[in-house]
Structure formats: C-alpha cells, structure tokens
A and B are shown apart, each in its own frame.
Chain A
C-alpha cells in the first residue's frame, strides 16, 4: 500500500517494506483450510451478528474443527482439580473443595518442580517426571523400551510435527509423503518449509484403505521427477477419514520405509477415538513386533496430544513426541530447536501426565475412580453414537455417500455436485466444494471444510464435518439442515 506524503521539504512515497513482494513465497503459498476461507467468512458474519444484522439462524456452529469443548463436551473433573491445585499451591485450602486424590496428584507433580513452581520454565524437553510417565505409558502400551531423552513435551502435537518437518526438509527437492486426504498441517508446513508434497492416495472404495502398490507408485512418481523422498506421514486413526489401520497395514508401511530408508512420522492423536471393533496398534509397537532389522533401523517420530481422545483439552496445548532410532546429532539439533522457544506450557505438560498416567482403581478412592470412569465413558459413548449418527444421516442425503466413521472425530463424505453447480463455482473462481461450504455457512450458520483443503481424487468433491455437537438432538438438527440445503441444491441444479 502506498501512501503519498508531502512534507515541508519534499514529496515522497512511503511503501510498506513488508508486503507481497518481500514476504517469502513459501509462506504465501502455504494454506491451512481448517482455519481458512470458511473461518474468515464466519468471523465476518459473527461480527455482523454482533452489530445486529439478522441471519436465518441464531448462531454459528463450528463443525469445521476438532474442538470438542467448544461444542459442549465437559472436561474430566479429576484432571481439572489437579491442574487447579498445581496453580494454587495451598493443599489445605484445595482439600476443602477438591478430592484428596486430586490434591495428592498435584503434590506429586509440584514436589518434582524446583520451588514447586508451575510458573517457571521447565527444561526444554519438558518436566522430567512427566517424561517418565510418558515413557512408562509407551512401554506399557507397546511392550517396548523407551529412552526418555527421546521424549519431547510440546504445545500440542502441532509443535512436534513442525519441529520434525523443519528438520527433514532441506530444499525443494525434499519430499514428504502424505496421505490424501490428510490433515492440512502437513501440506501447510511442507509448503512453508519449501519442500515438496508427495501424495499417496487412500482408497475411498475400500474404506480409505492404504495399499502397498499405491505407496510404491507415489514414491516412484516422485523419484522420477528428481524428488528425494525423505519421509512418510501416517495418520492413524485417520484425519479426516477416520480409518483405523491394522497391524498388517502398519507392517507394510514399515517395510516400505525400511526399503526406501525414509523417516516415518506417526500421527496417533486419535488413538482413543475408535468406534468399531478394531484395536489401536501404534507404529512403535508394530515396529517392535516386526523385530530386526526393522526395529533397529527405521527412524520414527510418534505424536500424541491432549487435544483429542476423551479429554479434548485443545486449549491447554499439551502433547508429546517420541523419537526412535534417531541419530544423536539429529536429536541434538531437535533439542536445540526446542530450546529457542524455551519450553511448552507447564499446565499442558501436566495435562499430558494426567493423560498417560490416569488414576487407577488402586491409586485413588472408589468415588474418584468411578466418577472418572463415568465421565470418560459418557464422552466416549457420545462420540461413538454421533459417529454412527453422522454416517447414517449423511448417507441418507441425496448425492452424498459417506464411509463408516471408524475413528477420530470427523466424517469425510463425498458429494456429487451437479455439473451446472460446478460450472457456476468455476465462474466465480471457486472450487465447487468451497462454494458449497460457503453457502452452507450463509444459509445455516454451520461451518464445515471443503475437501479440497484436505486433498481428494481429481474430479471428486468432499467436505469434512465433525461429530462433536455434544447434544444428540442438536447434532441431528445440524445434519438435517445440511440435508435440507443439499436436497434443495440438487433439485435446483438438476
């Protein structure tokens, strides 16, 4: 933007020095659809509503993002009591309103902090006691041995993912294999770090399954173009697709990674969100059970988060990353990068401790344990019910088909938009699925994200919607509104 300014001596033009021409191209090209065009439009509408403008709905419903508590999910009481007791270090007072068990657990954490200070920076990798809890958690879950020097506590899984991708990408020729569809932090960051996205397609006709042939095809295509494939991302359970990978699937991925000598990134934040009769198997575990040479060789970073599962504590920003078979030098570089931001927030770190080391029958009173279990079970039941509800309702809408939601917090249905509608969208310079989502937002106040934000087969359109509206009737209502709007669209554009 140019401003003309005349001073007493002379006229000069002052150009912003930070503008489109001077900002790095990769930042300009980087896109993150979850909080992209739909979010911007919604913010505008929100402001208009605040100024009194009337819309055909009374509020915006945010089904665009995996943000459970924003839609009514309650936090787990025990965890919050522990965190509050860590913030106010006064056991006598705390015991007046919190359970003894919660106060004791807070004491356990505080006694391991210098000067019992939750307000002090911790070591850069995290509070050692919690890193040990994470270590025990992984060892117990997977039957492996964990080196606690390879555990990093992070502000959500996002921070760990960012650090790893930054380390892996040297230049434009470095490629990272990502599933299509994928959670767009990967595409956004790969672009931002000036690397190349190497897509491998999940098969919608086979419940979003992954095939070895597809991995090979994707790899070969990239290497033919001169791309140096450095790493592969696996999201299990999938986002936005929700599929749960079997141990056999994982074995194939591991063998592929070993063969190509590429680094595996395992995004496992939804490991507690599984609604079908399948078990979660971590890449770490599959690796261990495959044994030598894989378990000694394959480089792996596994990510977990406090934001999903049954705790849904997105706002606390807690998570961890575990590195396996990582070169010492690389680990030192990782440590260094982490150190510049000092440490992740302490409350989030303690939240991670609570996630990986929950109260058990033997460690807390029956009352506390029962309440904990009840709260978790309610949340799980709600998520499962709505996963099924959403699958059913979406499939009953004309033009929409939806694979069963096996896990995570989303449905990713395919919508067959009429050709005339698509043409209209192209005229407006929009992807048809984006136009669809923008219109859903304008007509119903519901935020969903176009499939183009996650990646999809050429010529197909999808959208991602969460199953997180805490009230069954409200979730049903939202789906009905989408159904009504879509049916109308289909008939108008037939």
Chain B
C-alpha cells in the first residue's frame, strides 16, 4: 500500500517495506484450511452478529476443528485440581476444596521443580519428572526401552512436528510423503519450509487403507522428478479419515521406510479415540515387534498430544515427541531449536504427565478413581455414539457417502456436487467444495472444512466435520440442517444446464484470501 505524504521540504512516497513482493513465496503459498477461508468468513459473520445483523441462525457452530471443550466437553476434574494446586501452592488451603489425591499429585510435581515454581522456565526438553512419566508410559504401552533424553515436551504436538519438518527439509528437492487426505499442518509446513509434498493416496473404497503399492508408486513418481524423499508421515488413527491401522499395515510402512532409508513421522494423537473393535498399535511397538534390522535402524519421531483423546485440553497446549534411532548430531540440533523457544508451558507439561500417568486404583482413593473413570467413560461413550450417529446421518443425505468413522474426531464424507453447482463455483473462482462449505456457513452457521484443504482424489469433493457437539440432540440437529441444505442444493442444481446458472450479485470472497 502506498501512502503519499507531503512534508515541508519535499513530496515522497512511502511504501510498506513488508508486502506481497517482499514476503517469501513459500509463506504466501502455504495454506492451512482448518483456519482458512471458512474461519475468516465466520469471524466476519460473528462481527456482523455483534453489531446486530440478523442471520438464519443464532450462533456459529464450530465443527471445523478438533476442539472438544469449545463444544461442551468437560475437562477431567482430577487433572484440573492438580493443575490448580500447582498454580496456587498452598496444600493446606487446597485440601479444603480439592481432593487430597489431587493435592498430593501436585506436590509430586512441585517437589521436583526448583523452588516449587510452576512459573519458572524448565529445561528446554521439559521437566525431568514428567519426561520420566512419558518414558514409563511408552515402555509400558509398547514393551520397549526408552531413553528419556529422546523425549521432548512441546506446546501441543504441532511444535514437535514443526521442528522435525524443519530439520528434514534441507532444500527444495527434499520431499516428505504425506497421506492424502491429511491433516493440513503437514502440507502447510512442508510448503513453508520450501520442500516438496509427496502425496500417497489412501483408498476410500477400502475404508481409507494404505497399500504398499501406493507407497511405492508415490515414491517412484517423486524420485523420477528428481525429488529426494526424506520422510514419510503417517497419521494413526487418521485425520481427517479416522481409520485405524493394523500392526500388519504398520509393518509394511516400516519395511518400506527401511528399504528407502527414510525417516518416519508417526502422528498418534488420536490413539485413545477408537470406536470400533480394533486395538491401537504404535509405530514404536510395531518396530520393536519386527526386531532387527528394522528396530535398530529405522529413524522415528512419534507425536502425542494433550489436545485429543479423552482429555481434550487443546487450550493448555501440551504434547510430546519421542525420537528413536536418531543420530546424536540431529538430536543436538533439535535440542538447540527447542532451546531458542526456551521451554513449552509448564501447565501443559504437567498436563502431559497427567495424560500418560493417570490415577490408578492403587494410587488414589476409590472415590477419586471412580469419578475419574466415570468422567472418561462419559466422554468416550459420547464420542463413540456421535461417531456412529454422524456416519449414519451423513450416509442418509442424498449425494453424500461416508466411510465408517473408526477413530479420531471427524467424518470425511464424499459429496457428489451437481455439475451446475460446480460450474458456478468455478466461475466465482473457488473450488466447489469450498463454495459448498461457505454456503453451509451462511445458511446454517455451521463451520465445516472443504476436502480440498486436506487433499482428495482429483475430481472428487469432500468435507470434514467433527463429531464433537457434546449434546447428541444438538449434533443431530446440526446434521439435519446440513442434510436439508444439501438436499436443497441437489434439487436446485441437479437438472440445471450449465448455461442457465445465474451469477449472484457480489463475489463471495476477496480474492486475496483464497490462498489462505
């Protein structure tokens, strides 16, 4: 933007030095759909509502993002009592209103912190006592040996993922294999770090399965173009697809990685969100199970988070990363990067301790244990019920088909949008699934995310919707509204010839924001 300024002496033009010409291409090209065009439009609508504009709904419903407590999920009482007791270090007073067990657990953490100060920076990798809890958790879950120096406590899993991708991408020929569809932090960061996305397609027909053939195909296609494939990301359970991988699936990926000598990134944040009769198996465990040479060789970074599971503590920003078979020098570089941000927030770190080391029958009173179990079970039952509800209801909508939601917090249904509707979208300069989501938002106040944000087979359209509205009735209502609106579109546009489509009066989007 140019501002003309007259001073006493002379006329000069002052241009912003930071503008679309001086910002890195890679930042401009980087997209993160979960908080992209839909989020921006919703913010606009919210402001208009605040100033009195009327809409066909009384509030915006955020089904675009895995943010359970925003939709009514309650936090686990025990955990919050521990955290509150860490913030106000007065056990005597705290015992008046919190359970003894919670106060004791807080004391366990505080006694391991210098001056019992939750407000001090910890070591860069994290509070050692919490890192030990993470170590024990992984060892117990997977039957492996963990070196606690390989653990990093992070502000959510996002922070760890960011470090690893930055380390892995040296130049623009470096490629990272990502599942399509994927959680768009991967595509956003790979682009931002100027690397190449190497997509491998999950098969919608077979419940979003990954095949060895597809991995090979993706790999060879990339290497043929001169891309140096450095790593492979897998998300298990999947996001947005929810599929749960079997140990056999994982073994195939591990062998593939070993053969190609590539780094594995295992995003396992939804490991406690499984609604079908399948067990979670970590890559770490599958690796160990395969034995030598794989277990000695394959480089692996595993990510977990406080934001999902049954705790849903997104706002606390807690998570960890465990590195396995990673070269010492690489470790040192990861450590150094971590040190510049000093440390992740202490409350989030303690939250991770509570995630991996929950109260047990032996460690707390029956009352506290029962309440803990009850709260977790209520949350799990709700998630599972709504996972099934959402699968069922979406499949009932004309033009929409949805694979069974096996895990995570989302459905990723396919929608067959009428040709005329797609044509209208194209004339407006936006993807048809984005137009669909924007229309849903305007008509119902419901935020969902277009499939193009996650990646999908060419010529298909999808959207991602969460199963997180805490009240089943409200979840149903939201799905009904989506159903009604979708059927309207289908009937309105189904038989329309492309030529008869009328353009609306104003463009839907400022073109500047299309890339966001």
Residues of A within 8 A of B (CB): 1, 3, 5, 7, 14-20, 22-25, 27-28, 30-32, 34-36, 39, 43, 65, 67-72, 75, 77, 80-81, 83-85, 87-88, 90, 93-94, 96-98, 114-115, 117-124, 155-156, 158-159, 162, 166-170, 185, 188-189, 192, 230-231, 258, 261-263, 292-293, 296-297, 299, 307, 311-317, 325-330, 332-333, 335-337, 339-348
Is the pair B342, A337 in contact by a Cβ cutoff of 8 Å? no
Which residues of chain B have C-beta atoms less than 8 A from A340's C-beta? 30, 32, 158, 162, 185, 188-189, 192
Is the pair B18, A326 in contact by a Cβ cutoff of 8 Å? yes
A330-B16, A332-B516 as given contacts; A24 in contact with B35, CB under 8 Å: no
Which residues of chain A have C-beta atoms less than 8 A from B343's C-beta? 315, 317
CA A326 to CA B20, docked complex, whole Å = 12
- Nearest CB of chain A from residue B267's CB, rounded to whole Å: 14
Is the pair A262, B17 in contact by a Cβ cutoff of 8 Å? yes
Q: Which of A20, A23, A344 has the most CB of B within 10 A?
A: A23
CA A156 to CA B94, docked complex, whole Å = 29
A115-B70, A342-B158 as given contacts; A315 in contact with B168, CB under 8 Å: no
Which residues of chain A have C-beta atoms less than 8 A from B516's C-beta? 332, 335-336
CA A192 to CA B357, docked complex, whole Å = 36
- List 24 A–B pairs whose Cβ atoms lie within 8 Å, in order of A's numbering: A1-B328, A17-B263, A18-B230, A24-B170, A25-B170, A28-B333, A32-B339, A43-B123, A69-B120, A97-B97, A114-B70, A120-B70, A121-B67, A169-B24, A185-B340, A192-B337, A314-B120, A315-B118, A329-B19, A337-B30, A337-B192, A340-B30, A345-B315, A346-B315
Is the pair B18, A18 in contact by a Cβ cutoff of 8 Å? no
Is the pair A314, B27 in contact by a Cβ cutoff of 8 Å? no
Q: Is B322's CB within 8 Å of the partner chain A?
A: no
Which residues of chain A have C-beta atoms less than 8 A from B122's C-beta? 315
Is the pair A81, B14 in contact by a Cβ cutoff of 8 Å? no
A293-B7, A341-B162 as given contacts; A14 in contact with B261, CB under 8 Å: yes
Is the pair A69, B296 in contact by a Cβ cutoff of 8 Å? no
Q: Which residue of B lies closest to A76 (CB)?
A: B119
Q: Is B495's CB within 8 Å of the partner chain A?
A: no
- Nearest CB of chain A from residue B364's CB, rounded to whole Å: 17
- Nearest CB of chain B from residue A412's CB, rounded to whole Å: 20
CA A69 to CA B89, docked complex, whole Å = 13
Within 8 A of A (CB), among B63-90: 65, 67-72, 75, 80-81, 83-85, 87-88, 90
Q: Which of B69, B325, B328 has the most CB of A within 10 A?
A: B69
CA A314 to CA B262, docked complex, whole Å = 38
Interface size, chain B (Cβ < 8 Å):
110
Q: Is B117's CB within 8 Å of the partner chain A?
A: yes
CA A192 to CA B328, docked complex, whole Å = 20
Is the pair B5, A297 in contact by a Cβ cutoff of 8 Å? yes
Partner pick for A315 among B121, B158, B258, B333, CB 8 A cutoff: B121
Which residues of chain B have C-beta atoms less than 8 A from A123's C-beta? 43
Is the pair B513, A332 in contact by a Cβ cutoff of 8 Å? yes
Is the pair A80, B115 in contact by a Cβ cutoff of 8 Å? no
Is the pair A16, B158 in contact by a Cβ cutoff of 8 Å? no
- Nearest CB of chain A from residue B325's CB, rounded to whole Å: 7
Within 8 A of A (CB), among B110-128: 114-115, 117-124
Is the pair A88, B80 in contact by a Cβ cutoff of 8 Å? yes
Is the pair B121, A97 in contact by a Cβ cutoff of 8 Å? no
A14-B293, A17-B230, A32-B339 as given contacts; A327 in contact with B119, CB under 8 Å: no
Partner pick for A80 among B87, B333, B513, CB 8 A cutoff: B87
Given contacts A77-B88, A231-B17, A330-B23, 18 further A-B contacts (CB under 8 A): A14-B293, A23-B170, A27-B336, A72-B115, A87-B87, A114-B70, A117-B315, A120-B70, A120-B315, A124-B35, A156-B341, A167-B24, A230-B22, A261-B17, A292-B5, A315-B120, A341-B156, A344-B317
CA A155 to CA B341, docked complex, whole Å = 9
Which residues of chain A have C-beta atoms less than 8 A from B337's C-beta? 27, 30, 192
CA A400 to CA B16, docked complex, whole Å = 45
